[in-house]
């Protein structure tokens, strides 16, 4: 865990915690260091979209399981 005064370390740890791989962390850290804020925001927004797509995909999977469980429970009650 980075020290509170280690802003670069905190930045990188936040990216790691957000699921960014080592290459993306290095890329974002370089963009931040170069003060390429617009490009950094674009990269982070892209990663966010990827994560959100995964959430939606898993929500659909959960819905499918819920549907299956509901029908299995309903069949079990009828027997």
**Burial group, residue 54, by CB count within 10 angstroms (0-12, 13-18, 19+):** exposed
Give Cβ neighbours of residue 50 (< 8 Å, ≥ 6 apart).
Answer: none
39-68 pLDDT per residue, tens: 999 999 999 999 999 999 999 999 999 999
Task: Say what percent of the chain tops pLDDT 90.
Answer: 90
- The span from the first CA to the last CA of the chain, in angstroms, equals 56
What are the φ/ψ torsions at residue 20 (nearest 5 degrees)? -80, 135
Query: To the nearest whole number, what is the mean pLDDT of the chain?
Result: 95
Q: Would you say the pTM of this structure is higher than 0.85?
A: no
Domain residue ranges in the chain = 7-78
């Amino acid at each position: 865990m980075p020290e509170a005064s280690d802003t670069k370390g905190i930045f990188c740890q936040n990216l790691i915690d957000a699921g960014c791989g080592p290459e993306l962390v290095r890329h974002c850290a370089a963009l931040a260091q170069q003060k390429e804020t617009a490009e950094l925001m674009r990269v982070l927004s892209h990663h966010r979209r990827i994560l959100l797509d995964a959430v939606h995909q898993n929500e659909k999977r959960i819905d499918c399981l819920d549907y299956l469980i509901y029908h299995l429970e309903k069949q079990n009650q009828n027997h």
